[in-house]
C-alpha cells in the first residue's frame, strides 16, 4: 500500500531519541538511500542528544552545543527526511498523523498545524517523569528528562553554588536532594559531587565538604534492578564522597525547602531533583484506537505492533513491550531501545518484501552506572549470564561505560566519523575548562 503523497511506501518515525534516531538512520541508509521507501523522522526539537548523558549536561561536564546531532543535516547525509513538530493526533482510517503548530521565539507562527500520511508508523516518543501523585513535585522539584531540563538544573546549581560561596553567610551549606536511587539519581549525585570539587578548584569559596547531597530511595537499596553486590559497591562509593543514601524512605511531599518523608522526618534541600520514575505522555492515551496501560505506555505485542493499531509500531520508553522469548515486560532502558531499533529496521524491511514477521527477543547486556569522573560499576550479564551476581568496578568499568556512548555514535554516524568525534572530544577537553561555567 502506498501513501497518498509518495510514489514509494512511507515510513514515519515519531520521536528522535536514541531508538528513534537509530531506526531512522538504519532505514535511511538502506531503504531510503535505495529509494525503496521514504523515511520521515518527526520531532519537536531540531537536535538530539543521548539521554543517558543528561546528568553530565546538568553539571556542565558536557556541552550540548558540541554533542548534539542536528536532524536536518543528519537526515540529509543518511537518507531520511526530517519534519519539525510535535505529534498531537492520529487518524487510522486516513493513515495520517497531525502535527501541532510551531510558534517562533517572537510569537509569530513558524508552521501551522499539518498532517503527514504514512504507510507504516513507528511511535518512539520516550517518557517523562512520574511523580506518582506526590504533593509539591510539580511546584518545587526539578527534573532531568530533556536537554532543557538539564540546562535549567545546571544554571540552578551554579547560582546556588555561587550564592553559598559569596553570600553573607560564609559558613552556609548547600543542600541537594535527589529523589530516586536508580541509575539516573545515582549518576547525578556522583556527578554533582565532582562538579562541586571542580568549582572549588576554579576559585569558588564553597568548600566541597559544605555541600550535602542526599539520595532518597523508597526501596531497600539503590539500583534495585541491579545485582545486590553492584548496589552495595555503588552505595560504598557514594558514602566515600560524603553523599548520604537514604533507602527505605518514601517521600510524602516535596516542599520549597526540602523533602518531607513518610515517617515524619525531613531532608532539607536548596535544590530537589525528582528522578524516581517515568511514565509515557498522557496524549498517547487519546490516540485513535490505540491501547495504553496505567502509565500511558502503548501496549504492543512481541512484534512491537500496537494493540488496536493497523501498521503501527511503538518502541522505547513509550511502549509496554513483552520479550518475545521470556514474555516478561521489558524495562525502559537505552539498551532495550537500541535493540528494538535494530529489530524494527530489519522487520520493516521484511514487511516490504512480504516476509513473515519474527518476534523481538531482548538480549540483556547488563547494567553500567557512572560513579564519577574515574569510576563506574556494572554487571556483565552478557558475559557471565544474567542470573549471576557479578560486577566490574573502577576505571575498567568506566572505560566500558564511556564506550557505550561511542557505540551509540557509531550507530548514528558510522565508525569512521565516531572515531573522529572521539578525537575531537579529547582535543576540546584538553583546551577548555572541565566544566561549562556560564
Domains, the chain, in order of start with CATH, read 8-127+277-351 (3.50.50.60), 131-275 (3.50.50.100), 365-432 (no CATH)
pLDDT in tens, 143-167: 998 888 888 988 888 888 777 766 6
Mean pLDDT of 25-33: 96
50 confidence band (pLDDT: 50, 70, 90): confident
pLDDT in tens, 176-222: 999 999 999 999 999 988 888 777 666 666 777 788 999 999 999 99
Top pLDDT among 433 and 361 is at 361
4 confidence band (pLDDT: 50, 70, 90): very low
Top pLDDT among 434 and 256 is at 256
Which cell numbers hold the place of 138? 510539580
Whether the per-residue pLDDT at 72 is higher than 70: the answer is yes
Q: Which 3 state secondary structure label does DSSP give 416?
A: helix
Whether the per-residue pLDDT at 100 is higher than 80: the answer is yes
Which cell numbers hold the place of 249? 524512605
pLDDT in tens, 351-386: 999 898 899 999 888 888 888 888 888 887 655 555
- With b for 16 or more beta-carbon neighbours within 10 A and e for fewer, the 225-262 pattern comes to ebbeebbbbbbebbeebebebbbebebbebbeebbbbe
203 burial (CB, 10 Å; 0-12 / 13-18 / 19+) is exposed
CA dihedral 22, 60, 43, 87 (to 10 degrees): 130
In the sheet that 266-268 helps form, which strands lie side by side, from edge to edge?
251-255, 258-261, 266-268
pLDDT at position 10 is: 97
Q: What is the pTM of this model?
A: 0.89
Decide if 273 contacts 178 (C-beta within 8 A): yes
Whether the per-residue pLDDT at 345 is higher than 70: the answer is yes
Mean pLDDT of 431-438: 64
108 burial (CB, 10 Å; 0-12 / 13-18 / 19+) is exposed
Decide if 125 contacts 240 (C-beta within 8 A): no
Q: Report which DSSP code applies to 329.
A: B
**Alpha helix (H) residue ranges in 273-330:** none
Mean pLDDT of 54-70: 78
pLDDT at position 2 is: 39
pLDDT in tens, 240-285: 999 999 999 999 999 999 999 998 999 999 999 999 988 999 999 9
Which cell numbers hold the place of 176? 541537594
Q: Which 3 state secondary structure label does DSSP give 265?
A: coil
Mean pLDDT over all residues of the chain? 87
pLDDT at position 1 is: 34
User: How do strand 251-255 and strand 243-246 relate by DSSP bridges?
Assistant: unpaired
Whether the per-residue pLDDT at 171 is higher than 80: the answer is no
- To 10 degrees, what angle do helices 334-352 and 394-413 make? 30
pLDDT at position 383 is: 54
Percent of the chain with pLDDT over 90: 53
Mean pLDDT of 89-110: 89
CA 344 to centroid of chain Cα atoms: 20
Mean pLDDT of 1-19: 78
Whether the per-residue pLDDT at 108 is higher than 90: the answer is no
C-alpha dihedral sign at 373, 129, 118, 42: negative
Whether the per-residue pLDDT at 311 is higher than 60: the answer is yes
pLDDT at position 106 is: 82
Which single residue is written with the C-alpha cell 525503496?
A: 36
- CB atoms under 10 Å from CB of 265, counted, come to 11
Decide if 377 contacts 237 (C-beta within 8 A): yes
Amino acid at each position: 500500500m502506498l501513501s497518498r503523497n509518495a510514489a514509494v511506501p512511507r515510513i514515519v518515525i515519531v520521536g528522535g531519541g536514541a531508538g528513534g534516531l537509530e531506526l531512522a538512520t538504519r532505514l535511511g541508509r538502506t531503504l531510503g538511500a535505495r529509494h525503496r521507501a521514504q523515511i520521515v523522522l518527526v520531532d519537536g526539537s531540531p537536535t538530539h542528544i543521548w539521554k543517558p548523558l543528561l546528568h553530565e549536561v546538568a553539571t556542565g561536564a558536557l556541552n550540548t552545543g558540541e554533542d548534539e546531532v542536528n536532524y536536518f543535516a543528519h537526515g540529509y547525509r543518511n537518507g531520511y527526511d526530517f519534519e519539525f513538530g510535535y505529534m498531537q493526533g492520529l487518524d487510522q482510517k486516513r493513515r495520517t498523523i497531525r502535527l501541532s503548530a510551531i510558534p517562533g521565539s517572537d510569537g509569530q507562527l513558524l508552521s501551522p498545524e499539518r498532517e503527514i500520511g504514512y504507510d507504516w508508523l513507528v511511535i518512539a516518543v520516550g517518557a517523562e517523569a512520574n511523580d506518582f501523585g506526590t504533593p509539591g513535585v510539580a511546584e518545587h522539584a526539578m527534573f532531568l528528562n530533556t536537554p532543557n531540563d538539564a540546562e535549567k538544573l545546571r544554571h540552578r546549581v551554579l547560582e546556588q553554588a555561587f550564592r553559598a560561596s559569596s553570600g553573607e553567610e560564609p559558613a552556609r551549606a548547600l543542600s541537594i536532594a535527589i529523589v530516586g536511587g536508580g541509575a539516573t539519581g545515582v549518576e547525578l549525585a556522583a556527578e554533582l559531587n565532582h562538579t562541586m570539587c571542580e568549582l572549588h578548584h576554579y576559585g569558588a569559596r564553597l568548600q566541597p565538604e559544605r555541600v550535602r547531597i542526599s539520595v532518597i530511595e523508597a526501596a531497600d537499596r539503590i539500583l534495585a534492578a541491579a545485582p545486590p553486590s553492584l548496589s552495595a559497591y555503588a552505595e560504598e562509593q557514594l558514602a566515600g564522597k560524603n553523599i548520604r543514601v537514604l533507602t527505605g524512605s518514601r517521600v510524602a511531599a516535596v516542599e520549597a525547602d526540602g523533602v518531607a518523608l513518610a515517617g515524619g522526618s525531613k531532608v532539607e534541600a536548596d535544590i530537589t531533583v525528582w528522578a524516581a520514575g517515568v511514565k509515557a505522555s498522557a496524549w498517547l492515551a487519546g490516540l485513535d484506537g490505540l491501547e495504553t496501560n496505567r502509565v500511558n505506555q502503548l501496549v504492543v505485542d512481541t512484534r512491537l505492533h500496537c494493540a488496536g493499531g493497523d501498521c503501527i509500531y511503538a518502541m522505547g520508553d513509550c511502549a509496554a513491550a513483552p520479550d518475545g522469548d521470556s514474555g516478561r515486560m521489558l524495562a525502559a532502558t537505552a539498551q532495550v531501545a537500541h535493540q528494538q531499533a535494530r529489530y524494527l529496521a530489519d522487520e520493516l524491511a521484511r514487511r516490504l518484501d512480504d516476509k513473515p514477521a519474527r518476534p523481538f527477543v531482548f538480549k540483556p547486556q547488563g547494567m553500567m552506572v557512572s560513579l564519577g569522573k574515574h569510576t563506574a560499576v556494572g554487571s556483565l550479564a552478557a558475559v557471565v549470564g544474567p542470573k549471576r551476581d557479578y560486577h566490574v568496578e573502577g576505571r575498567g568499568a568506566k572505560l566500558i561505560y564511556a564506550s557505550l556512548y561511542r557505540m551509540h555514535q557509531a550507530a548514528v554516524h558510522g565508525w569512521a566519523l565516531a572515531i573522529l568525534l572521539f578525537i575531537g572530544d579529547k582535543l576540546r577537553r584538553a583546551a577548555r575548562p572541565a566544566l561549562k561555567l556560564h
